[in-house]
Amino acid sequence: MLRKLRVAAALASLCSAFAVAAPQTVPVYDSTQIALDSYTVVKRMGVSEWRSAFRLSGFGDEQTARDALLADAARLGADGVINLHCLGQTDGIFSSAGYYCYGNAIKLNARAPSVAGEQR
């Protein structure tokens, strides 16, 4: 009995060591909310590599695709994402079926005015 308890405790400890924390995300801005000269594009997310002309990573649903893009932007150190668009892929021939998103990861300029409107 004591041995089973020790094994269970070891497994619980191991599982907690590999627990995935909730990904950090960044705000999404509409192109009408922020002035063009108040930010710098860090990276064009989702379509910046040459491979995107032939194959895009698909996700099971739109929210998962959106969360993945926002988490990638946060890892880059971006302050937000602008022009975020999510699409469903219908062909399985040239690209994987599912949803994908693209947008611009941005860094706000130091002298950037406050963002108009609500962040969504």
The DSSP bridge pattern shows strands 80-89 and 28-29 to be parallel
pLDDT of residue 18: 37
Residue 85 sits in which domain range? 24-108
**Structural domains counted in the chain:** 1
pLDDT in tens, 80-118: 999 999 988 766 555 556 888 899 999 999 865 555 554
Q: Long-range contacts of range 72-77, CB-CB < 8 Å, 24 or more positions apart?
A: 72/45, 72/105, 73/25, 73/26, 73/42, 73/43, 73/45, 73/103, 73/105, 74/23, 74/24, 74/25, 74/26, 76/42, 76/43, 76/105, 77/42, 77/107
pLDDT of residue 11: 47
Indicate the average pLDDT of the chain: 75
In this predicted model, which residue has the larger pLDDT, 65 or 49?
A: 65
pTM, rounded to two decimals: 0.66
Q: Is residue 72 part of a domain?
A: yes
Q: Is residue 12 part of a domain?
A: no
pLDDT in tens, 13-28: 544 433 334 457 899 9
CATH of the domain at 68: 3.30.110.70
Q: Is residue 19 part of a domain?
A: no
The DSSP bridge pattern shows strands 39-45 and 98-108 to be antiparallel
In this predicted model, which residue has the larger pLDDT, 28 or 51?
A: 28
Contact 106, 79 (CB under 8 A): yes
The DSSP bridge pattern shows strands 80-89 and 39-45 to be unpaired
